[in-house]
Amino acid sequence: MIPPVLLRAGFGLYGRLAPRQAALTAASLLTRPRGRNPPQPWEHEPTDPLPEPQVLPGDLHALQWGDSGPLVLGLHGWRGRPTQFGRLAEAMVAAGYRMIVLDAPGHGRSRGLAATPRLLGEALVEAGAALGEVHALIGHSLGGAAAPIAIELGLRVRRLVMIGSPARPSRLIEWYADQLGLPLQARRRLDEWFDAHAGRPAALLDPVALAPHVEASVMVVHDEDDEIIPAADARLLEAAWPPAQMLYTRGLGHRNVLSDPEVVAAVRAFIAG
């Protein structure tokens, strides 16, 4: 791994000499997950029923729990995996649903090497088109931020659950440019790349910007001690979605919130609402 001070010096020089190429390199680094986060112990628990691997059109891989009932579609976050939804999926099946959780683009065996909110949103739309009517959508972290994009792009759902999700993921672009020490011209090129990729200014695909366009009933779950996405993001979502049902927890962090029995029960009740 390159020491941060050398990385900043290198991108500072690269950005002055070739701002466009430096921006393209930075975009490639920012959008490539490179592996998985370590699994949580509860991901190894067997679920009833056991998940079945699925391959959807467009080279999207997934896990499916249950084989009948209204569809609940799920999507994990950055460097996550479908098995993180095991306890939620078990509860959904017990309530009469089937649940399919995508392996996001750039993750596992699904297509590509990159993952962005736009790419994840498009993958959800493609999955919905292949699978038929989607009753509810559950997204964790970046997967939650991609869910409103999917709805904006045409995916119709009745219920949307966002768990530990960022309110303004586009802010990460500025933060990352700061970490790399990109000069102004290269930063502008980086912003242009992400705007072109989003098909509009990237900030307009943030959940807080898309909130007025989402007609589905919304639930936001966030832990006050989330070490990855601050709970302040959930409060921004709460302000953007006044009708949203909010659930704040404590002591669970960014990932264990997915397995907590009270969270699972609350999400199940909301989706069955």
pLDDT cut 70: percent of the chain above it: 99
Whether 32 has a pLDDT exceeding 80, the answer reads yes
CA distance 120 to 197: 12
Which residues contact residue 31 at a Cβ distance below 8 angstroms, ignoring those fewer than 6 apart? 106, 114, 115, 116
> How does DSSP assign 209-263, residue by residue?
HHGGG--SEEEEEEETT-SSS-HHHHHHHHHH-TT-EEEEESS-TTTGGGT-HHH
Whether 16 has a pLDDT exceeding 80, the answer reads yes
Nearest one of 137, 80, 132, 129 to 104, comparing CA atoms: 80
Tens-digit pLDDT profile for residues 110-147: 999 999 999 999 999 999 999 999 999 999 999 999 99
Give me the mean pLDDT over the 238-251 stretch: 96
Looking at every residue in the chain, the average pLDDT score rounds to: 96
Count of Cβ atoms closer than 10 Å to residue 213 Cβ = 9
CA distance 46 to 61: 20
Q: Which pLDDT band, with edges at 50, 70 and 90, does 1 fall under?
A: low
How high is the pLDDT of residue 145? 98
How high is the pLDDT of residue 10? 87
> How does DSSP assign 65-85, residue by residue?
E-SSSSEEEEE--TT--GGGG
Rounded to two decimals, the pTM is 0.96
How high is the pLDDT of residue 71? 98
Which three-class secondary structure state does DSSP give residue 33? coil
How high is the pLDDT of residue 9? 87
Least-confidence region, from 11-15, 60-64, 88-92, 223-227: 11-15
Tens-digit pLDDT profile for residues 217-235: 999 999 999 999 999 999 9
Count of Cβ atoms closer than 10 Å to residue 237 Cβ = 25
pLDDT cut 90: percent of the chain above it: 93
CA distance 221 to 229: 12
Strands (E), the chain: 52-56, 60-65, 71-75, 98-102, 134-140, 159-163, 217-223, 245-249
Whether 2 has a pLDDT exceeding 90, the answer reads no
CA distance 166 to 175: 14
CA distance 168 to 195: 14
CA distance 156 to 168: 22
Tens-digit pLDDT profile for residues 140-168: 999 999 999 999 999 999 999 999 999 99
Sole residue written with tokens 């391959």: 55
Q: Which pLDDT band, with edges at 50, 70 and 90, does 199 fall under?
A: very high
How high is the pLDDT of residue 3? 62
Whether 86 has a pLDDT exceeding 90, the answer reads yes
Whether 67 has a pLDDT exceeding 70, the answer reads yes
Sorted by where each starts, the structural domains of the chain and their CATH numbers stand as: 51-169+206-272 (3.40.50.1820)
Give me the mean pLDDT over the 32-44 stretch: 93
